[in-house]
Chains A and B, each alone.
Chain A
């Protein structure tokens, strides 16, 4: 398992979702991806995208107008 970080700051949805989707395509099942965003919409959209595609959201957090979602890539 590898952990990766994706900087999606300044991007407005759906771009953080698109960048997440494109990054996940390059990862292996079990890998974790931490997506760092500034658009609060990601708190809805990235988990929705994960549910549709079967990936698991491990953590979501907000801090000083940044929003971080950690997901695990499914098989």
Chain B
């Protein structure tokens, strides 16, 4: 009797990877899930920082998918390794700072290593030819298989019939006839398949899983790199790009202004790492100063910060400045008016 083949499925939390895993599980293959955290993944929880988004679902979709499928999920922290992918993508960027093709190659390669270390047989992805403009095209499929080193141990169950047979098909671990031949950007075949499998609930499909595809986020990342003169980053840097209003009045510093209470609470956690300021004479948001502001810069920063609270129309306000060491001082400034704030300062 043939031993039960084992596959690892890349689970993003979206519909396609869920269907791909389910298709192979339905053929009697033992499937476990793997999910990579790059630091740029969009999760409900990032939005959950903000009070106004508290009504949105806060679940992690990859975990939720794994639970629905009844499979284990291995979440792997790839933040450090991913820096190379983002800063030096061999295949370049998409519309923004998204290195989608290099990212897919990287993740399939990581899955390949996991398969080798854990005695599994092959890798499953939810890729569909023509689904994505950069990474899911006819010509990218063999590139991903080859450059990841997965070669024909990489099975795409949703579009397998449009590709040459892979090892799992040739070995009879899966029946090619029971795989699919989906192409293009339409979601209808996947939705029909979800209905067939009895899946009534799933994350909104296709796209939006990575901050690097977001224009505003990408602009903040480029600004960060320009300001520091290199493309390095730490996790806190890229987390803070997701939170607050970012304003750079001068190359040597920027302000991160909490937009509401939830963001303020989140930024509170960074008060030991950044100089912060808050209006003490009126109600106003917490503001972090990132960089090395000069003595005069504090007045400029405080006048900008003062325009984001109830002090905006006051003639003068008191701004309390807290150092990284907890030391405090107060300066009196005139809040900057909207017309005095150059739009190019807003990142």
Residues of chain A having any CB pair with chain B under 8 Å = 9-10, 12-15, 17-18, 21-22, 38-41, 43-45, 48-49, 51-53, 65
Q: Say yes or no for B44: interface residue by CB 8 A criterion.
A: yes
CB within 8 Å for A15 and B77 given contacts A44-B58, A53-B72? yes
A41 and B72 CA atoms in complex are apart in Å by: 20
The list of the 3 closest CB pairs from A to B, nearest first, reads A41-B45, A13-B45, A10-B269
A-B contact list, 7 entries, CB within 8 Å: A14-B75, A18-B37, A38-B265, A41-B59, A45-B45, A45-B60, A52-B63
The residue of chain A having its C-beta at the shortest distance from the C-beta of B44 within the complex is A41
Docked-complex contact B45 and A52, CB < 8 angstroms: no
B269 CB contacts on chain A under 8 angstroms: 9-10, 38
Question: Would A39 and B75 count as touching, CB distance under 8 A?
Answer: no
Chain B interface residue count, Cβ-Cβ cutoff 8 angstroms: 29
* Nearest CB in chain B to that of A48: its residue: B63
For window 40-65 of B, CB contacts with A under 8 Å fall at: 41, 43-46, 48-49, 58-60, 62-64
Is B66 in the interface zone, CB < 8 Å from A?
Answer: yes
Closest residue of chain A to B47 (Cβ to Cβ) is A41
CA distance A39 to B35 in the complex (A): 20
Q: Give chain B residues whose Cβ lies under 8 Å from the Cβ of A44.
A: 58-60
- CB-CB under 8 A for A48 and B64, given A10-B269, A18-B37, A18-B75: yes
How many whole Å from A21's CB to the nearest CB in chain B? 6
Q: Which residues of A contact B266 (CB under 8 A)?
A: 10, 38
A67 CA / B48 CA spacing, docked (Å): 14
B37 — which chain A residues lie within 8 A by C-beta? 14-15, 18
Q: How far is the CB of A33 from chain B (nearest CB, A)?
A: 16
Among residues 54 to 96 in chain B, which have CB atoms less than 8 Å away from a CB atom of chain A?
A: 58-60, 62-64, 66-67, 71-77
Interface code B267-299, partner A: CB below 8 Å = 1, 0 otherwise? 001100000000000000000000000000000
- Complex contacts, A21 vs chain B, CB 8 Å: 74-75
Q: Which chain B residues lie closer than 8 Å to A15 at the CB level? A: 37, 77
B219 contacts the other chain (CB 8 A): no
User: Which one of A9, A13, A22, A40 lies within 8 Å of B60 (CB-CB)?
Assistant: A13
Closest B residue by C-beta to A44 = B59
**What are the residues of chain B within 8 A of A14 when measuring CB–CB?**
35, 37, 41, 43, 45, 60, 62-63, 75
- State the CA gap A12–B75 with chains docked (Å): 14
What is the CA–CA distance of A18 and B67 in the complex, to the nearest angstrom? 16
Given known pairs A9-B269, A14-B37, A41-B44, the reply for A49 and B49 (CB within 8 Å) is no
Q: Which residues of A contact B116 (CB under 8 A)?
A: none
Taken together as a complex, chains A and B put the C-alpha atoms of A15 and B72 apart, in Å, by 17
Q: Which residues of B contact A48 (CB under 8 A)?
A: 59-60, 63-64, 67
A40 touches B59 (CB 8 A): no
- Bound-state CA distance A17–B75 (Å) is 8
CB neighbours (8 Å) of B66 from chain A are 52
Q: Which residues of A contact B210 (CB under 8 A)?
A: none
> For the complex, is B239 an interface residue (Cβ under 8 Å from A)?
yes
